[in-house]
Amino acid sequence: MNKPSLPPDDLPSTGATILNELFYRQLEEATCRRFYQACSPFMRVLLSNYHWYFKINASPLMLVIICYDIESYLHIVDAIPQFIKQLNQFSNKAKIQLFPPNNKGEPWEIEIEETLNDQA
């Protein structure tokens, strides 16, 4: 077992760690609600059919979308430009992580900053 290199007084308290986790969860939930509300009706229907969430404690902000069948995966892939445009309203440096159905390919990640530079 590794010993911490800092004295116990300099380490974060367990209470602070729990509060940080709670804060991140609340922030992720609020971000999900605001993102969903800001989406077009078409995007809301898409999101309603998939498992999706935000990772706030990751740097940068990350939208994670998990698809359970190939048809839904293809719908999301077609809508990626709309998701990028919407996500850009929340952060100019963000990522979308897309997970295809099991055994149907590798997950992929899109960096919003890169995509915006490509469109300019």
Amino acid identity for residue 79 in this structure: A
Question: Where is pLDDT greater, at 97 or 7?
Answer: 97
Q: What is the pLDDT of residues 31-72, one digit of tens each?
A: 999 999 999 999 999 898 889 999 887 678 899 999 988 888
Quote the CA–CA distance of 44 and 40 in Å, as a whole number. Answer: 6
Q: Which amino acid is at 73?
A: Y
Residue 110 DSSP one-character state = E
Instruction: Calculate the CA 40 to chain-centre distance.
Output: 18
Question: pLDDT-derived band of residue 13, with 50, 70 and 90 as boundaries?
Answer: low
What pLDDT score does 32 carry? 92
In whole angstroms, give the CA distance from residue 107 to residue 97: 7
- Summarize pLDDT for 71-114 with one digit per residue, the tens: 888 889 999 999 999 988 888 788 999 999 887 888 889 888 75
pLDDT value for 82: 92
